[in-house]
Amino acid sequence: MKPVDQMRVAVFLPNGGALSPYGKPLMLQEVLFCPVLTWCVRAWKSRGVERFFLVCEEPLRERGMACFPQGTDVTWLTPEEGEALGDDVEKVREPVMPRGEMMIAFHTAQELGRLQDAWHREIIEGHQRNGVLILDGAATYIDPRVTIAPGTLILPGTILRGETAIGEGCEIGPGAVVDSCIVEGGVTINASQVAGSTIGAGSDVGPYAHIRPGCQVGPKCHIGAFVQLKNCNLGEGTKMSHLTYVGDSDVGRGVNFGCGTVTSNYDGFKKHRTVIGDNVFIGCNTNLVAPVEVGEGAYIAAGTTVTKNVPADSLAVGRARQENKEGWARHNRAMKARNKKQ
């Protein structure tokens, strides 16, 4: 092990059989959801390294380059070109992992696992020193790229990964997975999965909700049990308590979604958007067949299938009119009883 003392580093992939049991270079394996190469690049940059070279065959180029954080000065070279680099470049030919000021070499998945265990404890303790409340560090896993503001509570079974930023006074977990998200202050995420999205201040998610990439959830929203969102924008104070799917939609402020509401965004060939204005009330078991717009302040009756635009402040009813047939049930039971005896 040795410190890096050059301002330029060349990483050779793979080298000397430095592969996992799955045939993947050890430098591309993930430690706490973050590729080893990304760990190394972040450490090298913090110590003043200004330029990088990724030396590998073409099939590994894309995966290797993806490990360098955005904005990194990195050039891909073939193995032949890498060997031609001068002595002013630090050549890293074996798998290494940062520990303190050193880069520690490893050659097996078992050795990498031991390094992961050490980093797991160190990351948890680092967040605790910064004022994050972690109830059970052994049952919590945090990517090194994650930032958490003081005063947030992390409950057991939580996994935080990717470029995730969590604000002050949040409660995350139990059993939550948050991947590459911005979570603003005062948010609760309970037993739910959130990916590639922004959750506005004071909102609550879950339990058992799924927020897929591309969502912008405004402040003070309620995303309840068995709700799924995908590629949508929600205004402040919008609520959907349970069993609702909203995809490819732009939703205003103060909208209430009844149980069983679905945006029917796919026609079998392409996706279409639904646009819902402020303060709309959507009754239970409503289907919104996109593309469709619902004007501000409109009211959609329960059981309606909306296939055309709804003007502002209007009532939309799209269901069969109820008809009661007196005595039908009694007659039906009698008929079945007679048939059973025959």
Three-point CA angle 169, 173, 176, nearest 5°: 125
CA distance 172 to 107: 36
Question: For residue 101, what are its two tokens?
Answer: 């000021």
- Count of other CB atoms within 10 angstroms of residue 199: 29
Question: For residue 171, what are its two tokens?
Answer: 């409660």
CA distance 130 to 263: 42
Query: Is 210 annotated in the active site?
Result: no
The catalytic position among 107, 120, 242, 272 is 242
Residue ranges in the chain assigned as alpha helix (H)? 36-46, 61-65, 79-83, 109-129, 328-341
Burial class (CB in 10 A: 0-12, 13-18, 19+), 304: buried
CA distance 87 to 8: 10
Kindly state the DSSP code that residue 287 receives in the 8-state scheme.
E
- The residues assigned a catalytic role are 242
